[in-house]
Amino acid sequence: MNPPFSFEPFLLFSFLSIVLLVGVVLRANVRFFQRFLFPSCLIGGILGLILVHTPLVDLSASKLETFAYHFFNISFISVGLTRGENRKENPGRTRDFLKGPLWMALVQGVTFPLQAILGYLGVLFFAMFGLRLFPTFGFLLPLGFNEGPGQALSVGKVWEGFGFEYGATIGLTFATIGFFFSFFVGIPLVNWGIRKGYSTDAPKDLPQDFLTGILSKNGEKKSAGDLTMHSGNIDTIAFQAALVGLVYFLTYAFVKYFGRFLPPDAAKMFWGFFFFFGLGIALMTRSFMRMIGVEGLIDPGIQRRITGWSVDFLIVSTVTAIQILVVWKYIFPILAMALLTGILTTLVVLYLGKRIWSYNMERIAAIYGTVTGTVSCGLLLLRVLDPDFKTPVPVEIAVMNVFALPIVGGCTVLVNGPLWWNWSIGLTALVFAGIMAICLGLMKILRLWGSAKF
């Protein structure tokens, strides 16, 4: 019997939900996943990847990529809508408070160009042996490692329109390998720091709730947010989600309208930056609501839950969307570039992290997770060292995004230079080298790079 309505989108959502729930169960019961703090979304994504390559599940990669693309956009919009907490800082500590976020932002300004240059060299290396890769193949490395699966998918998908076959899948693969570095290297790294006594507040044993990923029945429960709407009128979650939907529509209208005034190739690239425009319009929407005195209707707690929800489903869908046959076709360049990039990124973060003024291990953990996975990975590694968030580093990693936005945003635009401005790959890599040199120079000038502490 044929159903009277199309169930396809919701069945896809149901499949992602099922593998995510299985990921939760596996994290709660398998010591291996607990040891390396694998998030349930990544476990579920790997399970989904296995299932879609069997006759049991018939899902196309393009549909999964579409889901991931929209979840990615939603996560940025909800971040833009989230009101910041009012903090009263001691004026005498403001300068010191800003040093940590600035240092982490500059580390991103070093690692992003480094990863792009390694990708460029990788393309040259394999060309010497007759393997011709798309010119920007290697630039998916920093997008996958430094920015995460959303950007790698979004930009890779747009590049497919320029002739980069399977760009989205290759970008997602780099991002997934980055996650493996974040956990398989990051967790042993922070454990080494604890054993050596380099951490400030690290506990001897992690709480069971943190290991299993499920709060105990009798444990302390934290509030997910506050009601800003009367339930007799509209549910608060519905209102918060509707704000996201409003911004999504405004962003869509903006990208589609202004794309008409651009050359066709540039208009295609515009869609790859939907997340960025969404973030900007969300910030403007919040500012407008503040101006008319209704910003209090936005609940930061629930908006953070929307962000977390969308990121979890983003990771599940992106890992599931990887096409094994495509990865196998490019297995040697993917593995060679990713492994070299992961190793050198680890060494650079360690080298710079040993040479800061305080909280060395905490800041190393936070930025390492960020430049190999996502900010969420950085916070997860940080929680191993600072489970109660007593150090200033959790706040610093949030403030870091303000400093990092022009650096990482500029680098994200720059990877498109060969397609937008017809730059050579070599010239683009040279500009990346210049950015890396400037960021290293700023570390020295601003005294964010001193002698080694361990």
Give me the DSSP letters along 22-87.
HHHHHHHH-HHHHHTT--HHHHHHHHHHHHHTSTT----HHHHHHHHHHHHHHHHHHHHHPPPP--
Half-sphere exposure of 12 (CA within 13 A, CB side): 21
Task: Count structural domains, the chain.
Answer: 1
d(Cα 137, Cα 121) in Å, to the nearest integer?
A: 11
Is residue 2 a part of any domain in this protein?
no
In a 3-state reduction of DSSP, which class is residue 70? helix
d(Cα 276, Cα 77) in Å, to the nearest integer?
A: 9
359: left (phi over 0), alpha (psi -120 to 50) or beta: left
What DSSP letter does each residue of 273-294 carry, written as one string?
THHHHHHHHHHHHHHHHHHTT-
* Amino acid 85: pLDDT: 52
Domain extent for 136: 37-83+99-207+228-445
Q: For residue 97, give the amino acid letter.
A: F
* Amino acid 89: pLDDT: 47
Tell me what the pLDDT averaged over the chain comes to.
92
d(Cα 182, Cα 387) in Å, to the nearest integer?
A: 18
Which residue from 73, 93, 90 is spatially nearest to 81, judged by alpha carbons?
Answer: 73
* Statement: residue 131 has pLDDT above 60: yes
3-state helix, strand, coil split of the chain in percent (to 5) is 75, 0, 25
Is residue 347 a part of any domain in this protein?
yes
235, two tokens: 């549910």
Is residue 438 a part of any domain in this protein?
yes
371, two tokens: 């430049």
What percent of the chain lies above the pLDDT cut of 90?
A: 77
Q: What is the mean pLDDT of residues 311-335?
A: 95
342, two tokens: 């992961």
* Statement: residue 250 has pLDDT above 90: yes
Which residue from 151, 213, 143 is spatially nearest to 178, judged by alpha carbons?
Answer: 143
- Judge whether 111 and 348 are in contact, CB under 8 Å: yes
* Statement: residue 259 has pLDDT above 70: yes
Per-residue pLDDT tens over the stretch 5-19? 889 899 999 999 999
Per-residue pLDDT tens over the stretch 25-66? 999 999 999 999 999 999 999 999 999 999 999 899 999 999
Is residue 186 a part of any domain in this protein?
yes
* Amino acid 208: pLDDT: 87
Is residue 19 a part of any domain in this protein?
no
Q: What is the mean pLDDT of residues 387-414?
A: 89
d(Cα 349, Cα 369) in Å, to the nearest integer?
A: 10
- Judge whether 78 and 306 are in contact, CB under 8 Å: yes
Q: What is the mean pLDDT of residues 340-361?
A: 96
Half-sphere exposure of 31 (CA within 13 A, CB side): 0
Q: Residue 85 has what DSSP assignment?
A: P
Is residue 15 a part of any domain in this protein?
no
Q: Is the dihedral of CA 217, 240, 312, 114 positive or negative?
A: negative
Q: Given pLDDT bands bounded at 50, 70 and 90, which one contains residue 91?
A: very low
* Statement: residue 98 has pLDDT above 90: no
* Statement: residue 453 has pLDDT above 50: yes
Per-residue pLDDT tens over the stretch 163-222? 999 999 999 999 999 999 999 999 999 999 988 888 877 666 778 888 899 988 877 777
Is residue 92 a part of any domain in this protein?
no
Number of separate helices (H) and strands (E) present in the chain: 21, 0
- Kindly report the pTM of this predicted structure: 0.89
* Amino acid 407: pLDDT: 95
Q: What is the mean pLDDT of residues 239-264?
A: 93
Is residue 130 a part of any domain in this protein?
yes
Per-residue pLDDT tens over the stretch 412-437? 999 999 998 899 999 999 999 999 99
